[in-house]
């Protein structure tokens, strides 16, 4: 895996800006080679292996992003950005080599930050985010995420409140396949349609005075 990130600060005539960009590369693979046998009551062994007991997987991941933090006023800043991801998955199994699967995503984001006072900071954001399962299972789900909240900080404590709402396409769900093995139904993770989730988060953090030994 390789990652690269760089930031550039620039002061324009009207607004201050900080530009960041970076890349991420990852290669990984998995090999499974297993023999399975079932011992009969008479002591004979019967081969029960299946095609999925022997396979090879490889995944190539490449991503790049750019974002710009713009200081609109002394208290208000805006950070727009975009991230591009490309994932290529290749599979080899007993029947042969499957057609490579390629997933591409363009994920924009926009964040607003307002410092209402020395102690109070207001936040709001909207972004598109993919959620990737195990790379040998299925396609990722994708969601639009909306967040808003605030931080109230003093010298000794910080209170954080955050509300969120996500519209998800391709929700992950464990479902039965109708196949039974040793008295148990085989369960698989599948994309099971669209959904949404929302909630409210609260957090409190305490800062203790540094310990000075006497």
Q: What are phi and psi of 52, to 5 degrees?
A: -75, -5
Residue 106 buriedness (CB in 10 A; 0-12 / 13-18 / 19+): exposed
Mean pLDDT of 175-182: 70
Contact 24, 34 (CB under 8 A): no
Contact 118, 131 (CB under 8 A): no
In tens, the pLDDT along 90-142 reads 877 665 666 788 889 999 999 999 999 999 999 999 999 887 666 555 556 78
Mean pLDDT of 37-44: 73
In tens, the pLDDT along 49-68 reads 665 666 778 889 999 999 99
Cβ atoms within 10 Å of 83's Cβ, excluding its own? 20
CA angle centred on 1, ends 68 and 107, rounded to 5°: 35
Place of tokens 């490889």: 58
In tens, the pLDDT along 188-208 reads 666 667 888 899 999 999 988
**Confidence at residue 169, expressed as pLDDT on a 0 to 100 scale:** 82
Mean pLDDT of 163-179: 78
CA-nearest of 118, 203, 202 to 155 is 118
Mean pLDDT of 69-76: 94
Q: Left if phi > 0, otherwise alpha if psi is -120 to 50, otherwise beta: which for 51? A: alpha
């Amino acid at each position: 895996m390789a990652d690269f990130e760089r930031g550039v600060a620039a002061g324009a005539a009207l607004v201050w800006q900080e530009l960041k960009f970076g890349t991420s590369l990852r290669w990984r693979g998995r090999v499974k080679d297993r023999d399975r046998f079932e011992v009969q009551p008479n002591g004979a062994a019967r081969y029960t292996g299946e095609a999925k007991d022997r396979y090879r997987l490889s995944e190539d991941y490449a991503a790049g992003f750019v974002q710009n933090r713009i200081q609109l006023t002394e208290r208000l800043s805006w950070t727009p950005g975009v991230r591009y991801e490309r994932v290529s998955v290749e599979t080899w199994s007993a029947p042969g080599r499957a057609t490579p699967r390629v997933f591409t995503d363009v994920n924009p984001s926009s964040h607003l930050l307002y410092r209402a006072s020395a102690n109070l900071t207001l936040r709001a954001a909207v972004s598109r985010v993919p959620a990737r399962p195990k790379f040998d299972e299925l396609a990722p789900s994708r969601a639009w995420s909306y967040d808003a909240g605030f931080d109230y900080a003093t010298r000794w404590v910080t209170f954080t409140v955050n509300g969120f709402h996500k519209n998800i396409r391709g929700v992950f769900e464990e479902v039965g396949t109708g196949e039974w093995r040793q008295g148990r139904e085989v369960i698989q993770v599948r994309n099971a349609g669209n959904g949404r989730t929302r909630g409210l988060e609260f957090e409190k953090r305490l800062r203790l005075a540094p310990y000075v030994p006497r």
